Structure 1
Amino acid sequence: MAKSVLHTIESNMSTFSKGQKLIANYILENYDTAAFMTASKLGKMVHVSESTVVRFASELGYDGYPSMQRALQEMIRSKLTSLQRIKASNDQLTGQDVLSAVMQSDMETIRMAIEEVDRNELARVVDKLTHARHIYILGVRSSSFLAGYLNFYLHLLFENVTLVQSNAAGEIFEQLFRIGPGDVIIGISFPRYSKVTLNTIKFAADRGADVVAITDSELSPLYQMAGAALLVRSEMISFIDSMAAPLSLLNALIVDIGVQMNRDISKTFAELEGIWDAYSVFGKMDDE
């Protein structure tokens, strides 16, 4: 399990300089506030230079202050209320062009996903799905549209796919009544992690199903229950969760499955195109 940034700070306290200890103590006591401070603001708060704050982050093993800041934010995201999220985000966005700030943030999370997603783990997930007896997909709250999107395309590729609906907890277990060995359940969850998702995934694992997690980090409770996991960051923007990077990861997963299926997928879509044409599923532009 990944160690939190606070654990790393506590473990290295004896090696810090006087200025670094001021930073460390402030973060340990006020990590929920420090997570949203710039390096300059944090330095002013504890009366050290901005460069000292940047060097402190490097001392902890991060490639820069933004990386340490993200680690703090990821650690506390599941604990923040919507009002706390709005306040923290508004402090960051004040005076900025919101459109540029939000889109730049999305671009950055996708860039990090390109660097951080484990290709071997992606291959393992593809293999599990292509050989599964039955595939179940679960995502609730802000992850529900990701689950629906994945279901739409996997349903075109496989005959054995079920989107687990989350209208009521009891109904979820009824839908999973026959889940067992040979089946795969894909659980999608990001902070704040839904207890409905976690309890459902535990049930599926207890019944012998293989669990694939799509979540944000090794600190995620969903990760602890998974046989395979694809880790990708979502971004906290005010009261919403930006799912740009998770959605892009799902695109990569779907395309990778299609590549592995090769001829089978071509046959499927050739048949579908015939059905769509026969029943005028898609409108056509008139010739000019």
Structure 2
Amino acid sequence: MENPILQLKNKISELTETQRKVADYIIKNPVDVAFLTVDQLAGLVGTSTTTIMRLTFSLGYTGYSEFQKGLQELLRNKADPNTRLAANLKDLNRSDLFIRCAENHVNNIQSTVQMISGETLQKTLDMIVSAKRIYCTGVRSGLPIAQCLAYGLNRLLGNCDLAHADLFEWAERVHTFDSSDLVIACSFPRYARKVSEFVELAKRNNAQVISFTDSYSSPLAKYSDIILPCNVSSVAFHNSIIAPMFLADYIISALAINYPEKTKQHLDKLDSILRETNYHLT
């Protein structure tokens, strides 16, 4: 299929006024639209789902889902650092770089919030609380998220390990996994092979999997029980970790607040040990 954004731009003069409004929103917000449902997009633009479906039909797609897959593929192909940097520099006024960077982070968080339902978040919390053992894994841009989760979850629950996919001896451990184990994988374009292999083997051994990734077409999706899509666009060349880090911080906070009977006792014991060993300066 042809570049969906280019298709919209070439055809925009032939569209109805309402369809042009939708096309304009998609062209200006391709990353957001790549992860919005047709109902969400209709609500944001102020139109009907029928209008959006007719627009995608006119471009030669079988429907919104196929159009969205084409958009996600386009964004994946732009994941090469040099390509992303060159594209971002075209429209960048370096004098307002600080503001642009802040605005980008805010937009990433807002679009991530829109992509994840309250029901999905609750299932995520329940799955974490009920797991016997938790392994947080990631490399490169996914590693700081895995580290944050591993530190926070271990403080709360005492049953979480950081599994650096490039270093962790997961091949020797994964055969002991069962349905009581949980893997939280963090991977963004360009996706790391080791993380995908770890998740695949974990799933094959009946472990549950939660994935922090960028889309439902991520290589991790087919092995995941829950997908938490995060917008990781940046004003430069890299994956921004701000939105997934925000999500990780939410999960840690929500566990502490919503499951005090499960977390308070462990936090109190940990605090007692730190006091006894005079760990802190004050």
What are the residue-to-residue correspondences of 1:247-262 with 2, within 5 Å?
Answer: 247-262=245-260
Specify which of 183, 186, 190 is matched with residue 184 of structure 2: 186
Unmatched tracts of structure 2, length 5 or more: 35-69
Q: Are the equivalent residues in 2 in contact too, given 1:187–1:201 (CA < 8 A)? A: yes
Query: Do structure 1's residue 140 and structure 2's residue 139 form an aligned pair?
Result: yes
Q: Are the equivalent residues in 2 in contact too, given 1:53–1:65 (CA < 8 A)? A: no
Q: Are the equivalent residues in 2 in contact too, given 1:118–1:230 (CA < 8 A)? A: no
Query: Do structure 1's residue 66 and structure 2's residue 31 form an aligned pair?
Result: no
Change (3 A) 1:52 1:200: same
SS at match of 1:242: coil
What are the residue-to-residue correspondences of 1:201-240 with 2, within 5 Å?
Answer: 201-240=199-238
SS at match of 1:192: coil
CA–CA separation in structure 2 for the residues paired with 1:161 and 1:54: 54
Partner residue, 1:107: 106
Change (3 A) 1:266 1:59: closer
Please report how far the alpha carbon of residue 48 of structure 1 lies from its aligned counterpart in structure 2 after TM superposition. 7.0
Change (3 A) 1:176 1:162: farther
Unmatched tracts of structure 1, length 5 or more: 1-5, 7-27, 36-41
CA–CA separation in structure 1 for the residues paired with 2:128 and 2:20: 40
Residues 123-180 of structure 1, C-alpha deviations (whole Å, 9 max, x = no match): 11111111112111111111011101100011112232221123348x3312424212
SS at match of 1:229: strand
Please report how far the alpha carbon of residue 58 of structure 1 lies from its aligned counterpart in structure 2 after TM superposition. 4.0
Moved more, 212-221 or 64-73: 64-73
Please report how far the alpha carbon of residue 272 of structure 1 lies from its aligned counterpart in structure 2 after TM superposition. 2.5
CA–CA separation in structure 2 for the residues paired with 1:145 and 1:178: 26
Partner residue, 1:123: 122
Residues 219-263 of structure 1, C-alpha deviations (whole Å, 9 max, x = no match): 212122211122221113322111111111111111122223213
CA–CA separation in structure 1 for the residues paired with 2:95 and 2:109: 21
Q: Are the equivalent residues in 2 in contact too, given 1:85–1:239 (CA < 8 A)? A: yes
Change (3 A) 1:257 1:52: same
Structure with higher Rg: it is 1
What are the residue-to-residue correspondences of 1:1-288 with 2, within 5 Å?
Answer: 28=2, 56=19, 58-59=21-22, 65-68=27-30, 70=32, 71=34, 74-80=72-78, 81-168=80-167, 171-284=169-282
- Structure of greater relative contact order (alpha carbons < 8 Å, 6+ residues apart): 2
CA–CA separation in structure 2 for the residues paired with 1:236 and 1:54: 32
Partner residue, 2:53: none
One-letter code aligned to 1:91: K
One-letter code aligned to 2:272: G
CA–CA separation in structure 1 for the residues paired with 2:20 and 2:95: 25
Q: Are the equivalent residues in 2 in contact too, given 1:211–1:225 (CA < 8 A)? A: yes
Q: Are the equivalent residues in 1 in contact too, given 2:133–2:181 (CA < 8 A)? A: yes
Change (3 A) 1:123 1:244: same
Aligned residue pairs: how many? 245
CA–CA separation in structure 1 for the residues paired with 2:171 and 2:73: 30
Moved more, 75-84 or 194-203: 75-84
CA–CA separation in structure 1 for the residues paired with 2:185 and 2:226: 11
CA–CA separation in structure 1 for the residues paired with 2:25 and 2:148: 34
Partner residue, 1:18: none
Q: Are the equivalent residues in 2 in contact too, given 1:54–1:65 (CA < 8 A)? A: no
One-letter code aligned to 1:157: L
Q: Are the equivalent residues in 2 in contact too, given 1:184–1:209 (CA < 8 A)? A: yes
Q: Are the equivalent residues in 1 in contact too, given 2:153–2:252 (CA < 8 A)? A: yes
CA–CA separation in structure 2 for the residues paired with 1:194 and 1:73: 21
Please report how far the alpha carbon of residue 283 of structure 1 lies from its aligned counterpart in structure 2 after TM superposition. 1.6
SS at match of 1:114: helix
One-letter code aligned to 2:29: S
CA–CA separation in structure 2 for the residues paired with 1:188 and 1:236: 17
